[in-house]
Structure 1
Amino acid sequence: MNPKKLIIKHLNKIILITILIVVSTVLNISGPIILKRLISENDSDSIELFNLLIYFLIITLYYLSLYIFSKLQTNFSKKFKEQETLELYRSVFKMDYETLLKSQMTYLVSRIKSVVDSFFSIVGQGLSRILALGITLVTIIIIMSTYNKYLALLYIIVIPINVLGFKRINKKLTARSSELQHVCADNFKNIISFMSNYEYIKQAQSDEVLYQYLSEYVTRIENENSKLQHYAKTIGLFLEYLLKLVEVCIFMFIVYLFTKGTIDVSVFIMLNLLNSIFYSSLKSINEVNINLRDIKASFNFVNDLILQNQEVDNGNLVLQEVESIRIDVNDLKYGKNLLIQSGNLNAEKGDKVAIIGASGVGKSSLLKMIPRLISSNTTRILINNIQIEQITLTSLRKKILYLSQTPNIFPITIKENLCLENTNLADKVISLKTFEKFNNLENGLDTLVVEGAANLSGGDRQKIVLGRLMNSNYDVIILDEATNSIDEETSDELIQKVFEIFNDKIIFIITHNENIAEKCNKKYKIDNKIIAEVATNE
Structure 2
Amino acid sequence: MKTFIMKYKKEILILSILNLITYIFILINPILLQYIIDNVIMNNEKKLFNLILIILILSYALSTIASFLSNYYTEYVNIIIFQEKSSELISIILTSHKYMNTGDTISRLTDNLRLIINLISLIIPKIILNIFVIVVPLLIMFYIHTKLTILILTPIIIYIFISYIIGDEIEKIEMKILKNNSELFSLFKEIFTSKEFINSFGIEKLFLDKYNLKTNEYKKNILNCAKITSINFSFESIITVIPILILIIYGGLLIINKELTIGKLALFMSYIYLIFSPITELSMNWINYKKIKPAIIRINELYKLNKNTKLSKDALNIKKGKIEIKNLSFSYENSKELLKDINIIFYPGLNYLIGKNGSGKSTLLKLICRVYNPHKGEILIDEQNIKNISSKSINENISLIFPEPYLFEDTIYNNIILDKVDVKKKDVENIIKKIKLDKLIEKLPNGYNTYINESGVNLSSGEKQKISLARILLKNPKIILIDEVTNSLDYKTTKEIYECLNELSNNKTIIIIDHNLKNLSNGNIIKI
Shorter-chain TM band: 0.7 to 0.9
Check the 8 A contact 1:517/1:523 in 2, yes or no: no
Which one of the candidate residues 324, 327, 349 is aligned to 1:327? 324
1:24 deviates by 1.8
- The 5-angstrom pairing of residues 96-115 of structure 1 reads 96-97=97-98, 99-100=99-100, 104-115=101-112
So what's the TM-score if we normalise by structure 2? 0.87
Divergent runs of 4+, >6 A: none
1:414 deviates by 3.8
Q: Provide the C-alpha distance between the structure 1 equivalents of 2:355 and 2:118, rounded to a whole number of angstroms.
A: 54
Check the 8 A contact 1:415/1:445 in 2, yes or no: yes
1:304 deviates by 3.9
Q: Provide the C-alpha distance between the structure 1 equivalents of 2:197 and 2:389, rounded to a whole number of angstroms.
A: 46
Which residue number corresponds to residue 508 of structure 2?
Answer: 505
1:104-146 CA-partner distances (Å, limit 9, x unpaired): 1122111221221221122111221111111111110111123
**Secondary structure at the residue paired with 2:354?**
strand
Which residue number corresponds to residue 87 of structure 1?
Answer: 88
Check the 8 A contact 1:142/1:152 in 2, yes or no: no
Which residue number corresponds to residue 245 of structure 1?
Answer: 241
Which residue number corresponds to residue 428 of structure 1?
Answer: 430
Q: What is the CA RMSD across the aligned residues, in angstroms?
A: 3.0
Which residue number corresponds to residue 54 of structure 1?
Answer: 55
1:233 deviates by 2.2
1:454 deviates by 4.5
In the alignment, is residue 406 of structure 1 matched against residue 422 of structure 2?
Answer: no
1:23 deviates by 1.6
Check the 8 A contact 1:91/1:307 in 2, yes or no: no
**Secondary structure at the residue paired with 1:471?**
helix
Check the 8 A contact 1:364/1:480 in 2, yes or no: yes
In the alignment, is residue 139 of structure 1 matched against residue 136 of structure 2?
Answer: yes
Which residue number corresponds to residue 533 of structure 1?
Answer: none
Q: Provide the C-alpha distance between the structure 1 equivalents of 2:321 and 2:114, rounded to a whole number of angstroms.
A: 48
In the alignment, is residue 64 of structure 1 matched against residue 65 of structure 2?
Answer: yes
Between the two proteins, the alignment pairs up a number of residues equal to: 516
Decide whether aligned partners of structure 1 residues 248 and 445 sit closer, same or farther in structure 2, where only a CA change above 3 A counts. farther
Q: Provide the C-alpha distance between the structure 2 equivalents of 1:419 and 1:247, rounded to a whole number of angstroms.
A: 72
**2:511 is aligned with what amino acid?**
F
Check the 8 A contact 2:354/2:525 in 1, yes or no: yes
Which residue number corresponds to residue 30 of structure 1?
Answer: 28
Q: Provide the C-alpha distance between the structure 2 equivalents of 1:314 and 1:207, rounded to a whole number of angstroms.
A: 45
**Secondary structure at the residue paired with 2:492?**
helix
Please identify, of 43-52 and 443-452, the stretch whose mean Cα deviation from structure 2 is larger: 443-452
Check the 8 A contact 2:313/2:390 in 1, yes or no: yes
Decide whether aligned partners of structure 1 residues 7 and 378 sit closer, same or farther in structure 2, where only a CA change above 3 A counts. closer
1:140-160 CA-partner distances (Å, limit 9, x unpaired): 011112321123324554565
Decide whether aligned partners of structure 1 residues 53 and 499 sit closer, same or farther in structure 2, where only a CA change above 3 A counts. farther
- The 5-angstrom pairing of residues 195-274 of structure 1 reads 195-200=192-197, 207-234=204-231, 236-252=232-248, 253-258=250-255, 260-274=257-271
Q: Provide the C-alpha distance between the structure 1 equivalents of 2:190 and 2:70, rounded to a whole number of angstroms.
A: 41
**Secondary structure at the residue paired with 2:437?**
helix
Which residue number corresponds to residue 124 of structure 1?
Answer: 121
Gaps of 5+ in 2: none
**1:345 is aligned with what amino acid?**
I
**Secondary structure at the residue paired with 1:324?**
coil
1:52 deviates by 2.2
Which one of the candidate residues 446, 452, 476 is aligned to 2:479? 476
1:73 deviates by 0.3
Check the 8 A contact 1:37/1:51 in 2, yes or no: no
In the alignment, is residue 396 of structure 1 matched against residue 394 of structure 2?
Answer: yes
Check the 8 A contact 1:403/1:480 in 2, yes or no: yes
Q: Provide the C-alpha distance between the structure 2 equivalents of 1:158 and 1:137, rounded to a whole number of angstroms.
A: 15
Decide whether aligned partners of structure 1 residues 309 and 190 sit closer, same or farther in structure 2, where only a CA change above 3 A counts. farther
Which residue number corresponds to residue 523 of structure 1?
Answer: 524
Decide whether aligned partners of structure 1 residues 447 and 508 sit closer, same or farther in structure 2, where only a CA change above 3 A counts. same
**Secondary structure at the residue paired with 1:276?**
helix
Q: Provide the C-alpha distance between the structure 1 equivalents of 2:295 and 2:234, rounded to a whole number of angstroms.
A: 27
**Secondary structure at the residue paired with 1:123?**
helix
**Secondary structure at the residue paired with 2:362?**
helix
In the alignment, is residue 345 of structure 1 matched against residue 348 of structure 2?
Answer: no
- The 5-angstrom pairing of residues 349-498 of structure 1 reads 351-376=349-374, 379-423=377-421, 424=423, 426-431=428-433, 433-434=436-437, 436-437=439-440, 440-441=443-444, 444-497=447-500
Check the 8 A contact 1:345/1:524 in 2, yes or no: no
Gaps of 5+ in 1: 530-538
Check the 8 A contact 1:409/1:453 in 2, yes or no: yes
Which residue number corresponds to residue 532 of structure 1?
Answer: none
Which one of the candidate residues 279, 282, 289 is aligned to 1:282? 279
Check the 8 A contact 2:159/2:236 in 1, yes or no: no
Q: Provide the C-alpha distance between the structure 2 equivalents of 1:259 and 1:218, rounded to a whole number of angstroms.
A: 61
1:239-287 CA-partner distances (Å, limit 9, x unpaired): 2133223332344244444455544443333322211011111011011
